[in-house]
Structure 1
Amino acid sequence: MQRESIKTFFQGKDHKKIMLGGLYFSSVIMLIGLSLFALYMGHQTVFYAKFALAVVLSVLLVAFLITKKTPLFALLFLLVIEVESSTAMLSKHFYDFVTVYPFFPIFGFFFFFRLATAVWMTVVHFIFWVGVSIYGYDAFSSHPLFHMVPLINMIASTIVVILVALFYHISTEKTYEKLEHANRQKEILIKEIHHRFKNNLNKIASLLGLQIMKLEAGSKESPIEVLKKNKLRVEMMAMVHDSLYKADDLDNVDAATYIENLTDLVGNAYGRSVPVTVESDGIVLPLEKMLKVGLIINELYTNTLKHAKEAEGDRLRVEIFFFGSDGTARMLYRQRGHVPIGMDSLEKSDGLGMTLVHLSVEEMDGTFEVSNDENSLEFKILFPCEKAK
């Protein structure tokens, strides 16, 4: 096992693996110390037994560090402890060198295993030690360890430990499970955020690519106007994410609130105030849908601010309706109080704004209709959306 691998192991996130490795290591050190002390005191049998046990645990420790199979090696460790402690209590050579008392392994059952498994392990453990105690009381009646009072105290202590370990498992282990679940969700969330950020960068690159194509084709827009529009498109995307985080919901954006904030942003950028009324039934959209809707609203409202002229005696204003039902979202952008424009020129426009509107609707598998009369210009968009109830 390489040093770096061992270091990584003990710096891992799995507390059970770290705890088991620590138990193996500390037990080996303790047994080696006891074996040397037994040798110093002249107890050769104890020395050989404790040292052999230290070797066995060392081999198991190395195997555990290689395989990292926590349940298996936890069970092996507890079995070794059970054998060692019962042998020590039933042999006259080991009376003074009992390493682990019977109720200690119970903590291991409830720490390393699921509750149901820990319960039946504890039952088996308890029955085993009752048998050991009965045998010891009959075979070693002269030894103080097997007198009635110490045995009753041991059984009572074991029952108390079982209850403590049970409450430990219910409280601490459940908390660990919740934390581990939260960490997994956090990792998934971080990956999802990175994925969405990458998608947004690709969208920005695509928008800039389209803009370059329009400029190369002879667009008459000034560089300042091009930069201003692209700045608004980037801010529109950023606003979607801001709405998500403020709402503590990373997959639903409230359409009405977002559209109100977006039109305020566009109006401030162009320094022109055109009243906007937004009506909605409370529909929320997932991130990708809202980005496309935001791009459409941004282009339509920008076009209103730049090109719409007020009709005589009728103030220019914008109405946006957003509703959803039966898995379909319906958005109506209505521009009132304007001087009517030619529908042919609007529908055949080769400007980047209308191109982005058509592309966004197409990406959502939606439909796009435009109508114009003396009182209003309407853009009606329908697209499928699972969240539209």
Structure 2
Amino acid sequence: MFIIKTLFSMSAFLYNNEAISNFLSILAIVFVFAIYYETTRIDAYKRLINSNYKKDLLYNEIHHRVKNNLNLVSSILAIQAEKEDEKTKNAIQASKNRIDAMAMVHSMLYVSNDLEKVNAKRFIEKLYLNIQSTISDRVKIVFKSQEIELSLNEVIPIGLIVNELVTNSIKYAFKDIKNPKIIIVLNSHKNNILLTYFDNGRGYNQKDTQNFGLKLVDLNVKQLKGTLKISHNHGLCYKIIYKRNAHV
């Protein structure tokens, strides 16, 4: 009985021109609204993609220009060093290496898919090989690192720290040392980054604390809001640890 009534009401609806007209009007409104909503959504999505693309292009251009400017300064220093005495030349070369370390960061960001982070393993490896090629290749450097992505606020201080320690070791630590070695280890545990640096050189000297490079190490550790521990047993060991939450 219920089915018969339902069929009757449907057939009555079909013969009611006003009801059909109202139904079609509502259907048309819903259809137009759906098309408008989808068109608006697609347009907004395209604008968002376009905006992100332009932002990425801008970031790329910034890193590219900073890299070029730093390379220009580095080249000027190299030219200037040729005219100076040995002591001044060494000081200029040290400054050039620091600038090269910063330029390397921007160079890696420029070609990276992520414009805000650098692969720490590749960066440090490239950095110490560059230092080694300009100072001495007789020192064996062992580097171990997890695959860690570091932000710009992390990687520049770490790069400068590694630059100073490697440079300082190669220049001053290995006098009369038969098999000079440097070990660098970078690890991440939970929310902490631990950088361990060791050389089997002549060990700790109180005068070393007055070295400008080591003062720069201390300054960069403070910039990371980290802690530095120095020990000397069959060489010299630096342990630097900091929390990532303030930098990412």
TM norm. shorter chain > 0.5: yes
Q: Which moved more, 1:275-284 or 1:179-188?
A: 179-188
1:284 and 1:387 in contact (8 A); partners too: no
Aligned residue for 2:115?
250
State the one-letter code of the partner of 2:235: S
1:240 and 1:258 in contact (8 A); partners too: yes
What is the rounded CA distance, in whole Å, between the counterparts of 1:248 and 1:273 in structure 2?
A: 36
State the one-letter code of the partner of 1:282: E
What is the rounded CA distance, in whole Å, between the counterparts of 1:248 and 1:192 in structure 2?
A: 11
What is the rounded CA distance, in whole Å, between the counterparts of 2:140 and 2:187 in structure 1?
A: 20
State the one-letter code of the partner of 1:334: F
Aligned residue for 2:221?
361
2:228 and 2:240 in contact (8 A); partners too: yes
What is the rounded CA distance, in whole Å, between the counterparts of 1:288 and 1:263 in structure 2?
A: 20
> Which consecutive residues of structure 1, in runs of 5 or more, have no partner in the other structure?
1-122, 131-157, 205-219
**Aligned to 1:383, what secondary structure does the other structure show?**
strand
TM-score for the superposition, normalised by structure 2: 0.70
Q: Of the candidates 233, 238, 242, which is equivalent to residue 379 of structure 1?
A: 238
TM-score for the superposition, normalised by structure 1: 0.46
Q: Which moved more, 1:220-229 or 1:363-372?
A: 220-229
Q: Of the candidates 356, 360, 370, which is equivalent to residue 230 of structure 2?
A: 370
Aligned residue for 1:305?
170
State the one-letter code of the partner of 2:227: T
Distance 1:186 1:311, change over 3 A: same
- 1:240 correspondence with 2:105: yes
State the one-letter code of the partner of 2:207: S
What is the rounded CA distance, in whole Å, between the counterparts of 1:385 and 1:221 in structure 2?
A: 41
Distance 1:364 1:239, change over 3 A: same
- 1:345 correspondence with 2:207: yes
Distance 1:221 1:341, change over 3 A: farther
What is the rounded CA distance, in whole Å, between the counterparts of 2:37 and 2:138 in structure 1?
A: 63
User: How much identity, in percent, do the aligned residues show?
Assistant: 24
- 1:226 correspondence with 2:73: no
What is the rounded CA distance, in whole Å, between the counterparts of 1:302 and 1:243 in structure 2?
A: 22
2:63 and 2:106 in contact (8 A); partners too: no
Aligned residue for 2:25?
127
State the one-letter code of the partner of 1:324: S
RMSD: 3.8
What is the rounded CA distance, in whole Å, between the counterparts of 2:153 and 2:183 in structure 1?
A: 24
Alpha-carbon offset, residue 345 of structure 1: 1.8
Whichever structure has more helix as a proportion of its residues is: 1
Q: Of the candidates 39, 45, 50, which is equivalent to residue 183 of structure 1?
A: 50
In the TM superposition, 1:69-148 aligns within 5 A as 127=25
Alpha-carbon offset, residue 299 of structure 1: 0.6
Instruction: Spell out, residue by residue over 1:247-296, the C-alpha distance to the aligned partner (whole angstroms, 9 max, x if none).
Output: 31122222221110000111122243422211123222111110000000
1:327 and 1:387 in contact (8 A); partners too: no
Q: Of the candidates 281, 285, 298, which is equivalent to residue 146 of structure 2?
A: 281
2:197 and 2:239 in contact (8 A); partners too: yes
Instruction: Spell out, residue by residue over 1:56-113, the C-alpha distance to the aligned partner (whole angstroms, 9 max, x if none).
Output: xxxxxxxxxxxxxxxxxxxxxxxxxxxxxxxxxxxxxxxxxxxxxxxxxxxxxxxxxx
Distance 1:342 1:323, change over 3 A: closer
1:310 and 1:316 in contact (8 A); partners too: no
Distance 1:178 1:310, change over 3 A: farther
State the one-letter code of the partner of 1:182: I
Whichever structure has more strand as a proportion of its residues is: 2
> Which consecutive residues of structure 2, in runs of 5 or more, have no partner in the other structure?
1-20, 72-84
Aligned residue for 1:270?
135
What is the rounded CA distance, in whole Å, between the counterparts of 1:380 and 1:242 in structure 2?
A: 28
2:203 and 2:235 in contact (8 A); partners too: no
Instruction: Spell out, residue by residue over 1:11-68, the C-alpha distance to the aligned partner (whole angstroms, 9 max, x if none).
Output: xxxxxxxxxxxxxxxxxxxxxxxxxxxxxxxxxxxxxxxxxxxxxxxxxxxxxxxxxx
What is the rounded CA distance, in whole Å, between the counterparts of 2:105 and 2:155 in structure 1?
A: 7
**Aligned to 1:253, what secondary structure does the other structure show?**
strand
1:322 and 1:330 in contact (8 A); partners too: yes
2:191 and 2:245 in contact (8 A); partners too: yes
Q: Which moved more, 1:192-201 or 1:240-249?
A: 192-201
- Between the two structures, name the one with larger relative contact order (CA 8 Å, sep ≥ 6): 2
- 1:330 correspondence with 2:190: no
